[in-house]
């Protein structure tokens, strides 16, 4: 059985990917996660007792641990989701982003290289290191055009800069040491298990409590939304059939302004909660001070992934948003438990 080391597999996309691997493939999953505020074992509860899933609490920066896992589980591929992922937090406290996203990725790469160098011919040829990256490394777009795999990197937030640095390391480990790496740069994800600091789940939970829905600036910043399972399938297809050393853009071709997203959510809440005292939920919208350095627009041209690997998104934004809202309505205990820690929905991201 093939064995895949998934890092950050207790977080939003990583956990969705782990669920996808267990449901749709026959691989063994070794799930390494530090369980920061964003990682939750509740998310993995449905896998309890599943012999194809092994959870290990630990840090991608722990050299001895990573070396041991690669060797003991005879790992065939590493998929690196582990990261500090929230832009607003990176403005308040960038150090953790450098530590995990840059130094942690370096550690993982270097351990993978040493392990890979010791494999036999077939093992070496089949091994992959897939870096899960973001469209934010490319900076901000004007009103037209899209990012492609050849767009120059121009990160604007500490988060984006840390992801860009990691991507450069991944590229260099291929170019210099021949490590068979793959990089995916994806646009904004949404769906089940997203920590309620990100726009969509934050707005849902605040609306349920009748709290103000914070819209940064004038709400006209644009994001290109992709349902998380479509991202998971893209990663799997790249892992299976992507060409080592290549980069693949992943995007849903679903551009919406933040104001459109919040307005659609409010309309869906009105429909699904006809007895809510907060109807119409649109009255809760509030324009607040903009995010420092707020990127104006992201959009990914996923042509390469579509034409080379036959990937295309299956979920439409409006139906995916409805599904996501229904999931959050039905999983309020999950929300309460993940919000039990230090974060209670307050505004983050003003420099001290």
- As annotated, the active-site residues are 135-136, 159
Residue 251 in tokens:
């995007």
Chosen residue from 21, 69, 87, 182 binding ligand TDX by CB under 6 A: 87
d(CA 193, CA 43): 7
> Which CB sits closer to ligand TDX, 134 or 183?
134
166 binds, among ligand TDX, ligand NAD, none (CB under 5 to 8 A by kind): none
> Which CB sits closer to ligand TDX, 127 or 216?
216
User: Smallest distance from the beta carbon of 223 to ligand NAD, in angstroms?
Assistant: 9
Across 71-187, the runs of DSSP E, i.e. the strands, are 77-80, 128-134, 181-186
Backbone angles phi, psi at 296, to 5 degrees: -75, -50
Q: How many helices (H) and strands (E) are present in the chain, helices listed first?
A: 13, 13
14 binds, among ligand TDX, ligand NAD, none (CB under 5 to 8 A by kind): ligand NAD
Residue 341 in tokens:
């820690």
Cβ burial of 88 (10 Å; 0-12, 13-18, 19+) is middle
* Residues in 251-280 that interact with ligand TDX by CB under 6 A: 258
Chosen residue from 216, 227, 311, 334 binding ligand TDX by CB under 6 A: 216
User: Smallest distance from the beta carbon of 192 to ligand NAD, in angstroms?
Assistant: 12
Chosen residue from 53, 128, 174, 198 binding ligand TDX by CB under 6 A: 198
d(CA 329, CA 350): 30
User: Smallest distance from the beta carbon of 189 to ligand NAD, in angstroms?
Assistant: 4
Q: Kind of pairing, strands 222-224 and 255-257? A: antiparallel
d(CA 280, CA 283): 6
215 binds, among ligand NAD, ligand TDX, none (CB under 5 to 8 A by kind): ligand TDX
Chosen residue from 15, 66, 109, 202 binding ligand TDX by CB under 6 A: 202
């Amino acid at each position: 059985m093939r064995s895949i080391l998934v890092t950050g597999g207790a977080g939003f996309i990583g956990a969705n990917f782990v669920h996808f691997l267990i449901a749709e493939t026959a691989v063994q999953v070794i799930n390494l996660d530090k369980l920061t505020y964003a990682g939750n074992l509740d998310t993995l509860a449905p896998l309890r007792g599943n012999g194809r899933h092994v959870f290990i609490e630990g840090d991608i920066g722990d050299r001895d641990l990573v070396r041991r896992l690669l060797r003991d589980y005879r790992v065939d591929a590493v998929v690196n989701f582990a990261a500090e992922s929230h832009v607003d937090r990176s403005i308040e406290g960038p150090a953790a982003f450098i530590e995990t996203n840059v130094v942690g990725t370096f550690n993982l790469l270097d351990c993978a290289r040493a392990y890979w160098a010791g494999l036999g011919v077939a093992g070496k040829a089949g091994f992959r290191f897939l870096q899960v990256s973001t469209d934010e490394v490319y900076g901000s777009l004007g009103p037209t055009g899209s990012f492609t795999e050849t767009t120059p990197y121009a990160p604007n937030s500490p988060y984006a800069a840390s992801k860009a640095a990691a991507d450069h390391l991944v590229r260099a480990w291929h170019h210099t040491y021949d490590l068979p790496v793959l990089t995916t740069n994806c646009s904004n994800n949404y769906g089940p298990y997203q920590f309620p600091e990100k726009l969509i789940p934050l707005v849902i939970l605040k609306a349920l409590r009748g709290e103000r829905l914070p819209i940064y600036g004038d709400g006209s910043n644009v994001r290109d939304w992709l349902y998380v399972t479509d991202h998971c399938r893209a990663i799997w297809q790249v892992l299976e059939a992507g060409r080592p050393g290549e980069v693949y853009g992943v995007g849903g071709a679903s551009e919406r302004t933040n104001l459109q997203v919040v307005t659609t959510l409010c309309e869906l809440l009105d429909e699904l909660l006809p007895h809510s005292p907060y109807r119409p939920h649109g009255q809760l919208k509030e324009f607040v001070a903009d995010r420092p350095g707020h990127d104006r627009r992201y959009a990914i041209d996923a042509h390469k992934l579509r034409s080379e690997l036959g990937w295309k998104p299956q979920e439409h934004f409006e139906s995916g948003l409805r599904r996501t809202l229904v999931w959050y309505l039905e999983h309020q205990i999950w929300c309460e438990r993940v919000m039990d820690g230090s974060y209670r929905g307050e505004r983050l991201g003003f420099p001290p």
